[in-house]
Amino acid sequence: MKNNIIIYSGILLLALSVYGIFHASRVVLAQNLYSRAKYGTPSVASQTILDLCGKASRLYGHNYYVCILAAEAAYYEGLITTAGDASKHITEAQKWCDKGLELNCYRMPLRRLKAFLLARTSPADAAHYWEKFVDWQYWEPSNHALLVELYALSGQYEKAVDSLALIKDTSDYQAAGMKLNEAWKKEKDFPAELSGKR
């Protein structure tokens, strides 16, 4: 009986070891692919980055840094390509961003990118989304600077001014103030008959 327990324990340990080696090998390969995508030659095309990140994610789907890299590559590619391709890249960015947020909902690059993606269709929704993150990480001036920009884009100028006042003595103040002024100027210059305001 004692020998059987030893034999079964040995078989179980062997099976666990084989599984551990298999899992560790997948993680190492995934990290290698991520490193190639992130630190490869400086001129790596965004599609190459997305392909490498896709392979890395299939091997080991728990690395949210892969999601950050892929989401940012797709988003920035979407900003510089034609309308049809841009839509495809933005959809890809949303997919990667959502996956990364499922893995770690507190990573600022993912939350910031999610706000940018929301702002493409609804700056007010983006501002509401970003408010929650600012509440969680209140003392970071760049968070308030983005909130100023989103409030300004959505026409919430009082809130934008209030948020701007919170970062008055920081390096983010000037850029955020410029974003607020640009949005205000666009609204003032917009013809009343087209804006729906009388």
What is the total count of domains within the chain?
A: 2
- Give the pLDDT of residue 120: 93
Check whether residue 98 and residue 146 sit in a common domain: no
Residue 110 falls within a domain, yes or no? no
Pair of tokens at residue 154: 């959505």
- Give the pLDDT of residue 197: 47
* Domain boundary, last residue among 105, 135, 152: 105
Check whether residue 150 and residue 55 sit in a common domain: no
Check whether residue 90 and residue 147 sit in a common domain: no
* Domain, as residue range, for 12: 1-105
Residue 22 falls within a domain, yes or no? yes
H helix intervals, the chain: 2-39, 46-59, 64-80, 83-103, 108-119, 123-136, 141-153, 157-166, 173-189, 192-195
* Domain boundary, last residue among 105, 140, 174: 105
Pair of tokens at residue 20: 């551990």
Residue 114 falls within a domain, yes or no? no
Check whether residue 132 and residue 90 sit in a common domain: no
Contact 163, 137 (CB under 8 A): no
Residue 113 falls within a domain, yes or no? no
The residues, ordered by sequence, that sit 6+ positions from 35 with a Cβ below 8 Å of its Cβ are none
Residue 111 falls within a domain, yes or no? no
Check whether residue 84 and residue 130 sit in a common domain: no
Check whether residue 95 and residue 10 sit in a common domain: yes
pTM value is 0.83
| Pairwise CA distance, residues 22 & 13, whole Å | 14
Check whether residue 34 and residue 61 sit in a common domain: yes
* Domain boundary, last residue among 47, 71, 105: 105
Check whether residue 156 and residue 92 sit in a common domain: no
Check whether residue 70 and residue 11 sit in a common domain: yes
- Give the pLDDT of residue 49: 93
| Pairwise CA distance, residues 102 & 87, whole Å | 23
Check whether residue 52 and residue 140 sit in a common domain: no
Nearest by Cα to 56 from 73, 33, 74, 40: 33
- Give the pLDDT of residue 190: 57
Residue 34 falls within a domain, yes or no? yes
Check whether residue 73 and residue 136 sit in a common domain: no
The DSSP secondary-structure symbol of 170 reads: S
Residue 117 falls within a domain, yes or no? no
Check whether residue 81 and residue 147 sit in a common domain: no
Long-range contacts of the stretch 123-128 (C-beta < 8 A, 24+): 123/150, 123/153, 123/154, 124/154, 124/156, 126/150, 126/153, 126/154, 127/151, 127/153, 127/154, 127/156, 127/159
Q: In order along the chain (198 residues), what is the average pLDDT of each group of 10 residues?
A: 82 89 92 92 80 96 96 93 85 96 94 96 96 93 96 94 95 95 81 48
